[in-house]
Structure 1
Amino acid sequence: MSDPFVLFSSSHLLALLLLVVTSLLLYAFRHRLQRSPQGKRILRYTLAALLAGSEAVLNIWNITEGTWSPRYTLPLELCSLTLLLSIIMLLSKSRLLYEILFFAGIGGALQALMTPNLGYAFPHIRFYQFFTAHILIILASLYMTWIENYRPTWKSIGLTMIFLNIAALLVGITDYYVGANYMFLMHKPSTASILDWLGPYPVYLLAEEGIALLIFTIMLLLFFVIPEKMSRTGKSRDHSAI
Structure 2
Amino acid sequence: WRSFLAYEILFFWGLSAMLQASFTPDIAAGFPHFHYFRFWMGHQGVILALIYATVVYEIRPTFKSLIKSFIALNIFLVIAAIVNLLLDANYFWICGKPVNHIGERIPTLLDYMGPWPWYILTGEVVALAHFLLAYSPFYIIKRKEQK
Relative to the length of structure 1, the TM-score reads: 0.56
Q: Which residue of 2 aligns with 1:172?
A: 81
Q: Which residue of 2 aligns with 1:218?
A: 133
Q: Which residue of 2 aligns with 1:87?
A: none
- Whether the aligned pair in 2 keeps the contact of 1:100 and 1:160 (CA below 8 Å) is yes
Moved over 6 A (4+): none
Question: C-alpha distance in 2, partners of 1:232/1:157?
Answer: 20
**What's the CA shift for 1:212?**
0.7
**What's the CA shift for 1:192?**
2.9
Q: Which residue of 2 aligns with 1:229?
A: 143
**Higher percent of residues as helix:** 1
**Structure 1 residue 142 and structure 2 residue 51: aligned?**
yes
**Structure 1 residue 98 and structure 2 residue 21: aligned?**
no
**Structure 1 residue 159 and structure 2 residue 68: aligned?**
yes
Aligned residue pairs total: 141
Q: Which residue of 2 aligns with 1:200?
A: 115
Spell out, residue by residue over 1:195-227, the C-alpha distance to the aligned partner (whole angstroms, 9 max, x if none): 121011001000011111111111111x21123
- Whether the aligned pair in 2 keeps the contact of 1:117 and 1:189 (CA below 8 Å) is no
**What's the CA shift for 1:114?**
0.6
Task: Give structure 1 stretches of 5+ with no counterpart.
Answer: 1-91, 234-242
Instruction: Return the letter of the residue paired with 1:144.
Output: A
Identity %: 37
Task: Give structure 2 stretches of 5+ with no counterpart.
Answer: 100-105
Question: C-alpha distance in 1, partners of 2:5/2:55?
Answer: 17
Question: C-alpha distance in 1, partners of 2:42/2:22?
Answer: 10
Partner SS for 1:111: helix
Is the deviation greater in 129-138 or in 191-200? 191-200
Cα–Cα, structure 1 residues 112 and 168, in superposed 2: closer, same or farther, change >3 Å?
same
Structure having the higher Rg: 1
Spell out, residue by residue over 1:58-106, the C-alpha distance to the aligned partner (whole angstroms, 9 max, x if none): xxxxxxxxxxxxxxxxxxxxxxxxxxxxxxxxxx310011011110111
Instruction: Return the letter of the residue paired with 2:90.
Output: N
Question: C-alpha distance in 2, partners of 1:204/1:210?
Answer: 10
Partner SS for 2:89: coil
Aligned-pair RMSD on alpha carbons? 1.4
- Whether the aligned pair in 1 keeps the contact of 2:18 and 2:44 (CA below 8 Å) is yes
- Whether the aligned pair in 2 keeps the contact of 1:109 and 1:138 (CA below 8 Å) is yes
Instruction: Return the letter of the residue paired with 1:208.
Output: G
Relative to the length of structure 2, the TM-score reads: 0.90
Q: Which residue of 1 aligns with 2:103?
A: none
Question: C-alpha distance in 2, partners of 1:154/1:225?
Answer: 8
Q: Which residue of 2 aligns with 1:29?
A: none
**What's the CA shift for 1:230?**
4.1
Q: Which of residues 4, 9, 16 is equivalent to 1:107?
A: 16
Question: C-alpha distance in 2, partners of 1:184/1:167?
Answer: 13
Question: C-alpha distance in 2, partners of 1:192/1:128?
Answer: 22
